[in-house]
Amino acid sequence: MKSRPVLIGIAGGSGSGKTLVAQTLIDLLGSDRVVVIQQDAYYKDLSHLPFEERVKQNFDHPDAFDEELLVEHLEALLAGQTVQQPVYDFTKHTRKRETIPLGGHDIIILEGILILQSERLRRMMDIKIYVDTDADVRLIRRLRRDLIERGRSVESILSQYENSVRPMHLQFVEPSKRYADIIIPEGGKNMVAIDLLKTKIESLLRERESVRQEKK
C-alpha cells in the first residue's frame, strides 16, 4: 500500500497566479506524481435556477461552493481511492454531464481563492500557501482570462469585480492569508520560493515512505 499523498493548498485572489505556481510545481516534480484539483470545479450546480438568476449569484462567497463534495473527494484521494471530479460550465453556471477521474498520485494540489478560509479544508492540508499579488495585476489577469476562456463581456467582468470579487476578496480571501505556512509574492515567477517548496514536498514524501517501510 502506498503512503498517504501530500496535500498542498494554494490560495490567493482571483488572478493572483495560483495556477502558475501549481503548474511550475508539476513541471519540477513530474506530472505523473501530481494532480491539481481546482476549487472552481466544485461550484454548486445552479441548473435548477433560470439563467437570469444564475448570473446574479455571488460566486466569490464561500457558500457558492459545494464544500461537502470537495471534502468527500479529498478524503477519498488521501485514502488512495479514485474520484470523479465535476466539470463546471462557466458560461451556463451549471455542471456538465462529464466528469474527470482522479486518483493514484503522490501529491495533491488544491487550488482556489477560498480554500484557506475553510477550517475543514485547512485541517486536511500538509502545506498551506498564499499567493500574494497586487490588485491591479489580478484584475488585468482576470479580464484576460474571462474574456478569452469564459466568453464574457468586459462590462460583465468589471461589474462582477466591483460588486462581488473585490468586496469578497477583502472580506474572505485576504484575511485567510494569516493561515498560510508560506506566502509567495509574484506567484510562479518567484523561483526561490518555488524551489524551497519543492524541497519541503520531497522531504515530506521521503518521511512518509520511510514510515510506510518501517510498518511493513
Q: Say what the pLDDT of residue 21 is.
A: 93
Q: Say what the pLDDT of residue 188 is.
A: 72
DSSP category for residue 13:
S
Residue found by looking up cell 506567484 in the block: 187
Considering only CA atoms, which of 3, 2, 9 is closest in space to residue 126? 9
Q: Say what the pLDDT of residue 160 is.
A: 85
Q: Say what the pLDDT of residue 120 is.
A: 96
Residues 138 and 132 sit within 8 Å (Cβ to Cβ)? no
- Catalogue all structural domains in the chain, each as residue range(s) with its CATH number: 6-204 (3.40.50.300)
The tens-digit pLDDT sequence of the chain (216 residues) is: 577 899 999 999 988 989 899 999 999 998 889 999 999 999 999 999 999 999 888 999 999 999 999 999 999 999 999 999 999 998 888 999 999 999 989 999 999 999 999 999 999 999 999 999 888 988 998 898 888 887 788 888 898 889 889 999 999 999 999 999 999 987 778 889 999 999 999 998 888 878 777 776
Q: Say what the pLDDT of residue 1 is.
A: 56
Q: Say what the pLDDT of residue 216 is.
A: 67
Q: Say what the pLDDT of residue 195 is.
A: 92
Greatest distance between any 2 Cα atoms in the chain: 60
Does the global pTM surpass 0.85?
yes
E strands, 13-168, where? Answer: 34-38, 83-89, 94-102, 107-111, 127-132
Residues 6+ positions from 56 with CB-CB distance below 8 Å = none
